Amino acid sequence: MQTGDAPEQPESVRKTALYGTAVPADRQRERLTDGDVPVAVYGLGKMGLPLAAVYAETAGNVTGVDIDPAVVETVTAGESHVVGEPDLAELVAEQVRQGRLDATTDGPAAAAEARVHVIIVPTLLDEENEPNLTTVESVAADIAAGLSPGDLVIAESTLPPGTCRDVLQPFLAAESGLDPEEFGLAFCPERTSSGTALRDIRGQYPKVVGGTDDESTRAAALVYDELSANDVHPVADATTAEAVKVFEGIYRDVNIALANELGRLADDLGISVREAIETANDLPMCQLHDPGPGVGGHCIPYYPHFLLSQMDEPMALTRTARAVNESMPSVVVDRLDRELAAVGTDLDGASIAVLGITYRPGVEETRASPALGVIDELQERGADVAGVDPLVDPADYGARPLSIDEFESSAVDGAVVVTPHDEFGRIDWDAAEPMVVVDGRDATELEETTHRVYTLAGSRRGRPPRPGARSASSEGDANPTDAVSEESDGRRLSEDAGGDSPNESAANRTDGGTDVQG
């Protein structure tokens, strides 16, 4: 739709509209930042609340919408229910105090007042690994109930390519009674990591925008040019923008699968594959990710299915990558089984502690966490499984809960390091009874202890998975090993491990433990 083609609108509508208006762009920017353009953000979860707060500090007139009354009550009280996000609680408190941010469970009412509608709710998979758009469509129904000519709808939820064009636009038009040319619709993928949400939204990465028509792209670009300090990158259309986000996730999944496949060669080669990867990455054309016990989070394990479920092409590489990454928890348990057997212990009936239940250090999120697969596999093989995690209750995931102190004093047969939380840095390994430790993250320093250690893919300092073992068939002896870690996502589980955040290099070559672009 070209500017000026919209039906005649009342002055009260025209003065705040960003789509299809003859108002000059600089005046539109003024109205947006002066609070004259009401914004509704639908979904106040881990990414939605930070986005709503940044919209509030930019636009000054934001209503957050969530179906959970407890979430709404918390936000309206000026508090944040999202943990692990630096400065978010303070930003929410300030925006609510100034009257720039409010919250409600009444989506249609919020839609009736808003001129910009931002969708940021999850798109999950059903039991057949098909994208489930139920939540997105529910939000779209609320928006349609209050949609007015000149409104702009922005989807930040990750969607299968073609959803804005083929699903959302026809749905919004049919439910609202408006012609598709009377409102704008754009896809602007969320590029945010848990733990750095405010930094990322404010401009850590370029913002991609693509609309169902040129005017939608223009209006969305205007909005994000105000929100973000980084470049705004318009693309041809909404479907292209949707593909950008999905492609980012698939690239990482395939790269991680390659790293995991190479990592599994460490035993046969008798080397540290981690050291080989780190050294290979000295060349800019080589950017191998880190091997690990699997891929977790609400992004990478899901997005490949957004294409696999609807494309005629076989996509054999993408399918294989998914299979490799999904197999890694079993691989880890296989290694544990072998190392226990070497010291005369049967996994069936053994007591095993899983260190780290969440998918990423310091983030209270367990969706698709590799630890869940490790727990399931251990239990299927007859092990008694305990869990240690400072952020969640392992009992909720089928493991007997242990505190760090209880772990130190427990006579377990083995431990699997899945997610290296900073808190694990205070584990006194010398105080623990000798055990087999399978370190899936190259995160321990146990060379001076009595524990038998196997480091998946070897250590970055060049030690093979089990020092002295030249191949998988070399069982070696039951003597303590000296697997040493230089770093794992910027963290070590030694007593002097620091609490610094992962650096950019570690975060961008992730094994799924660091979900940079959620």
Q: Is the dihedral of CA 137, 143, 146, 151 positive or negative?
A: negative
Q: Give, as one character, the DSSP assignment of residue 212.
A: S
Catalytic residue selected from 164, 207, 245, 286: 245
CA 250 to chain centre: 13
Q: How far is CA 4 from CA 36, 47, 181, 219, 281, in A?
A: 21, 35, 11, 14, 53
- 3-state secondary structure string across 29-66: HHHHHCCCCCEEEECCCCCHHHHHHHHHHHHCCEEEEC
Residue 377: partners with Cβ closer than 8 Å, 6 or more residues away? 329, 330, 333
The token duo for 241 is 């923008």
Residue 284: partners with Cβ closer than 8 Å, 6 or more residues away? none
Tell me, yes or no, if 245 is annotated catalytic. Answer: yes
Three-state DSSP state, 211: strand
Q: Give, as one character, the DSSP assignment of residue 182.
A: G
Q: What are phi and psi of 29, to 5 degrees?
A: -60, -40
Q: Are 89 and 97 in contact (CB under 8 A)?
A: no
Tell me, yes or no, if 15 is annotated catalytic. Answer: no
Catalytic residue selected from 46, 188, 207, 299: 299
> Angle at Cα 451 formed by Cα 450 and Cα 456, nearest 5°?
150
Burial (Cβ within 10 Å: 0-12, 13-18, ≥19) of residue 462: middle
**Looking at the annotation, which residues are catalytic?**
245, 299
